[in-house]
A and B are shown apart, each in its own frame.
Chain A
Amino acid sequence: MGRLSIRWLLGELPTLEAEGVIDADAAERLRTHYTEKTSGSGRRLVVAIFAVFGALLIGGGVILLLAHNWEAFGRGTRAAIALLPLLASQGLVGWVLIKKSDSTAWREGSATLMALTLAAAIALVDQTYHTGGDLESFLWRWSLLLAPLPWLLNSTAVAMLFLAALTWWAGAAKVEGSQILMMWPLAAAVIPHLIQVMGSDRRGLRAANLQWAIALFLCVAAGLGLENRVPGLWIVVYVGLFALMITLGVVNRRGEDGLWRRPLEVVGVAGSIIMWLILSFDEPWRHIGWKHIHTTERFHEVTSWLDVMLAVGLPLAAIAAMAFLLDRGRHRLYLLWGLSVPLVAVVWPLTAETDSRWIGAVSFTVLLLVVGIATIAEGVRQQNLGTVNLGMLVVALLVVVRFFDSGFGFIFKGFAFILVGFGFLVANIVLSRSLRAGEEEVK
């Protein structure tokens, strides 16, 4: 059970006791049981964080020392030096596995150190023999060797390092024009670790950190992984991905979780806002769809099909998740955010067929406005300032973006702004009247 849940439970105890649900003894036993549990856990967490940062700094220091390039030592000495830190950290990890496998701090710290000394070993061998090619090739070999470690050593820190290295590789390889299809199966290596962590403490900090890493990885990977043979598929892929993230995040969270423990939701909402703002311009909708398929350049067959599968699969998965997992009453705000999926499913083919860029731009401008206002209204209804602010942010960003949009003339923009401004004033009056009416009803 997470710390927040325990705090909630302890807060409930007096009421439960007063209402006779549990007797005083049981309440006291629960109190001592959970107080013992929480008092140590904060300290353990700090120790684990310190262990990981210590290992990161030491490992990083080793890499920097080796990068200086100690040419004075002969090849043989340098080859030995390359393997020594790795051997030492392997020994440490082995000892931790046997003696200290229950300690998060030892496990995460030693595993992090091993991940970095592994990088140092590969790097120094490359350096000594002038082999190994570009940064891309180095990152690929490191990622491959890191892949089994998160699950095997039950280390979230290494999982985060692994995803970072893999993303970095994919970016570097993409720049070089290499094929990065292998990114997907390799990234799947974190799934066993995800199951491991979610099984042991799904509300814990490790689960949250891992979900952050995965969510951010998916944001970048979805873009890098696309072959873009059919132009514009990224629009559908990203809209679907963010809607799916929001849905899964909302389903898994409980009211009292803070922002850091809601990575999928935060990344999904932030990503949606940014994506919709981009799509509210007409430029992204230029030359998209099947009429503009690239035939001249060289494209990878499998990756091109993966594009199509993602573009169809992600929106469908998002819709299915919303239909089966979200509650129409409790989650209606999030269902509204999910409107982007059916919207893009209609607008994208329409734009592809007609080549009219304004359809998409206008649709997403309206979507931003509607979702923004609805979010504000929902926030007011729930008396939740965070939700109100989120809605205001959406509307404010939309206004700023449109103000500087050179696609429309000044006169049109001027009238549109005035019109929307009046809309807000009217909405304000209606809203405050209904609130006042609500208050009077309560009285």
Chain B
Amino acid sequence: MNSRLRLVLFVVVGLVQLAVAGGAIVESELALRTGEAFRFRIQPVDPVDAFRGRYVAIRFAVDRAPAPDDLDVKPGKQVYLRLENDGEGYAVLGQASAEKPMSGPYLRLRAGGIYPDEDGTRFVWVSMPFRRYYMDEDRAPAAERAVWGGRRGQREASVSVRVRNGVGVIEELYIDDVPIHQWLTDNANIR
């Protein structure tokens, strides 16, 4: 292959690399700046990722949504979930649909299976895309202990998520309505 063609291909490949990394930045920034805010209740745990460092793993208290009888999505395929508020200021997952909702905020997620519960109501299980809250390696274990305390019923943990065009990006992790960094500073002694 001649070197000019190789160079052109390299430039294309290089731009694709930048577009993938840069595109994720743009998409996230747009969601954070212009998206609608929701608060989700969470149940977290903490591990480490060799490439991306320490994080607080997040398990959402809700990970299934009511599915209408005619909904038929294969596991791994995309499903759209409306977002609603439960009255206490926390988000709940509304009706699932295979097509993009005409109005109102929604999340675009991958579907798990569809199963009926004990009462026969159909639910679609989803894997929430924001499952990690990355933190400074020194503070993540402390944050983890703080959030685990909440799991035993003493503290309430939640995340705020900005949602735009089906894309949700985590904004902040809260313990008892206090942002995690603030909480860690305030409670430096009781950890």
Contacts and interface: CB of A to CB of B under 8 A. Distances in A.
B6 A79 contact: no
A303 to B, nearest CB: 13
Looking at B22, B24, B76, B169, which has the most chain A CB atoms within 10 Å of its CB?
A: B24
Interface in B107-158: 129-137, 139-140
Contact of A83 (B3, B21, B55, B131): B21
A179 interface: yes
13 contacts: A67-B50, A67-B54, A68-B53, A83-B22, A122-B21, A124-B52, A126-B24, A128-B134, A129-B28, A131-B169, A134-B131, A138-B49, A152-B13
A267 interface: no
A330 interface: no
Contacts of A191: none
Interface string B1-35: 00100110111011011101110110011001000
B54 A82 contact: no
B18 A83 contact: yes
A123 interface: yes
Contacts of B11: 94
B170 interface: yes
Nearest to A177: B75
Given A69-B137, A71-B135, A97-B6, A123 B52 contact: yes
Given A71-B139, A90-B18, A129-B25, 12 more contacts: A82-B25, A83-B21, A87-B18, A97-B3, A125-B24, A130-B130, A130-B134, A131-B28, A131-B129, A131-B169, A152-B10, A178-B76
B168 to A, nearest CB: 9
B7 A98 contact: yes
B133 A93 contact: no
B20 A141 contact: yes
Question: Which of A68, A118, A130, A133 has most B Cβ within 10 Å?
Answer: A130
Contacts of A134: 131
A379 interface: no
Interface string A107-132: 00000000000111111111111111
A118 B50 CA distance: 15
A135 B55 CA distance: 12
A150 to B, nearest CB: 12
A148 B13 contact: yes
A149 interface: yes
Given A93-B10, A152-B6, A125 B53 contact: no
* B28, B55, B75, most chain A CB atoms within 10 A: B28
Q: Give the bracket for the number of chain B residues in contact with chain A.
A: 35 or more
B7 A130 contact: no
Interface in A57-115: 63, 66-71, 75, 79, 82-83, 86-87, 90, 93-94, 97-98, 101
- For chain A, which range describes its interface: under 10, 10 to 19, 20 to 34, or 35 or more residues? 35 or more
B137 A68 contact: yes
B135 A125 contact: no
Tell me which of A90, A101, A153 has the highest count of chain B C-beta atoms within 10 A of its own C-beta.
Answer: A90
A93 B134 CA distance: 31
Given A126-B52, A129-B28, A179-B76, A69 B135 contact: yes
A67 B52 contact: yes
Contact of A66 (B10, B53, B132): B53
A130 B180 CA distance: 14
A130 B133 contact: yes
Interface in A375-399: none
Nearest to B137: A68
A432 to B, nearest CB: 57
Contacts of A138: 49, 51-52
A129 B24 contact: yes
A71 B182 CA distance: 13
B28 A123 contact: no
Contacts of A86: 17-18, 21
B9 A152 contact: yes
Contacts of B17: 86, 90, 118, 121, 145
Contacts of B75: 298
A133 B21 contact: no
Nearest to A196: B1
Interface in A127-177: 127-135, 138, 141, 145, 148-149, 152-153
Given A79-B25, A130-B169, A67 B137 contact: yes
Nearest to B21: A121
B94 to A, nearest CB: 23
A83 B18 CA distance: 7
Contacts of A141: 20
Given A66-B53, A130-B133, A149 B13 contact: yes
A210 B137 CA distance: 37
B134 A127 contact: yes
Contacts of B139: 71
Nearest to A149: B13
Contacts of A178: 76
Contacts of B16: 145
Interface string A165-208: 00000000000001100000000000000000000000000000
